[in-house]
């Protein structure tokens, strides 16, 4: 493929993809193709795996015309990559053992002057004797010894984003590599330099960019899309009705008809991904959540027009 680098879609195989997930995948494909990048699919299966979900998700993506330009990789098969990254950070004295429980972390965050979701470094200054004692009581997690309080990234849709960077977990106490480390290592190893995903992960991007800098890896270009939500404003889920391809097929909706609804929500022409790509302009992407009311949006196989997000005059940086 012409150009260099790659974009990606990286679902967790915990269940079927709903139309909000599929919309993000479509946008990731459009970003990649419009910039001459490859489009890759990665299965992030380090946690919450449901038997058969990976095959279902790949089939759902394929039904919309979304296929990986390279063989699909799975995080569960990349342990050596993660261990090498950990060893690199440990050699620089940037990793320490943490014996805190989730309750300990929650109580620290709720204490006076605590910051919600922010780890205050409780175990960072423990003596070796104290660590040795605690190892007999609880297997430790491994945390990054961060040297910064915040980090900034430039997002193509959200603009400049500055978020806290605490001593976040690199490997959980059950031995599983944490998401923030895995995603940074995998993106670099796969040549992924464009990350398009839901804006629920926006605050984690500065952490990941900072970690990439410590590992000597380039941070990718980010674009975080607003999520699909229910009419009540909750993140869209299967409980909200017919929102998966399987459920919609029972109502007479073909995958390509669902694709047309997704493209309409982005202000793009339907008919095919190729037609949408010819009209794709990131500046014109909606900046508000996509409100999905399945009872109205998919009430008939013909499909009424979807409710688009409000227009924006914001220009990409």
* 8 Å CB contact between 9 and 41: yes
**Among the residues of the chain, which ranges form H helices?**
19-34, 53-63, 79-91, 102-110, 128-135, 179-189, 204-214, 245-250, 255-265, 273-279, 294-297
Topology of domain 79-189+197-225, CATH: Rossmann fold (3.40.50)
Q: Identify the band that residue 305 occupies on the pLDDT scale cut at 50, 70 and 90.
A: very low
* Residue 302 in this model has a pLDDT that exceeds 80: no
Per-residue pLDDT, averaged over 26-42, amounts to 98
> CATH for 6-77+226-297, among 3.40.50.620, 3.30.530.20, 3.90.226.10, 3.10.20.30?
3.40.50.620
DSSP state of 15: S
Q: Identify the band that residue 307 occupies on the pLDDT scale cut at 50, 70 and 90.
A: very low
The yes-or-no answer to whether 6-77+226-297 and 79-189+197-225 have a common fold is yes
* Residue 98 in this model has a pLDDT that exceeds 90: yes
- Is this model's pTM higher than 0.75 or not? yes
Burial status of residue 2 (CB atoms within 10 A of its CB: 0-12, 13-18, 19 or more)? exposed
In this structure, is the dihedral angle defined by the CA atoms of residues 191, 218, 47 and 240, taken in order, positive or negative? negative
* Residue 306 in this model has a pLDDT that exceeds 80: no
pLDDT by residue (tens digit) across 150-197? 999 999 999 999 999 999 999 999 999 999 999 999 999 999 999 999
Domain boundaries, the chain: 6-77+226-297, 79-189+197-225
CA 121 to chain centre: 26
Closest CA to 208 of 149, 158, 152: 152
DSSP state of 7: E
């Amino acid at each position: 493929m012409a150009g260099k680098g790659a974009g990606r879609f990286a679902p967790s195989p915990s269940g079927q993809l709903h139309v909000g997930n599929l919309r993000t995948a479509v946008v990731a494909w459009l970003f990649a193709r419009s910039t001459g990048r490859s489009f890759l699919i990665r299965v992030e299966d380090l946690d919450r795996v449901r038997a058969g979900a990976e095959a279902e998700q790949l089939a759902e993506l394929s039904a919309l015309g979304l296929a990986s330009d390279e063989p699909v990789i799975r995080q569960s098969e990349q342990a050596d990559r993660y261990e090498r990254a950990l060893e690199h950070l440990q050699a620089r004295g940037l990793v320490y053992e943490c014996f805190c429980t989730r309750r300990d972390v929650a109580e620290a965050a709720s204490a006076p002057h605590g910051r919600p979701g922010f780890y205050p470094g409780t175990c960072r200054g423990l003596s070796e004797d104290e660590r040795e004692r605690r190892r007999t009581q609880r297997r430790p997690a491994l945390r990054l010894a961060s040297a910064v309080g915040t980090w900034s990234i430039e997002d193509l849709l959200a603009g400049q984003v500055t978020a806290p960077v605490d001593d976040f977990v690199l490997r959980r106490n059950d031995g599983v590599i944490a998401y923030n480390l895995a995603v940074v290592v995998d993106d670099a190893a796969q040549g992924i330099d464009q990350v398009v995903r839901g804006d629920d992960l926006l605050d984690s991007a500065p952490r990941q960019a900072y970690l990439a800098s410590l590992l000597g890896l380039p941070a990718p270009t980010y674009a975080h899309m607003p999520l699909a939500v229910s009419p009540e404003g909750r993140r869209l889920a299967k409980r909200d009705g017919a929102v998966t391809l399987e459920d919609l097929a029972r109502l007479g909706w073909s995958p390509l008809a669902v694709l047309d609804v997704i493209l309409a929500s982005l202000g793009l022409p339907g008919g095919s991904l190729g037609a949408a790509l010819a009209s794709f302009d990131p500046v014109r992407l909606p900046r508000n959540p996509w409100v999905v009311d399945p009872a109205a949006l998919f009430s008939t196989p013909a499909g009424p027009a979807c409710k688009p997000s409000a227009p924006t005059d914001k220009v990409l940086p």
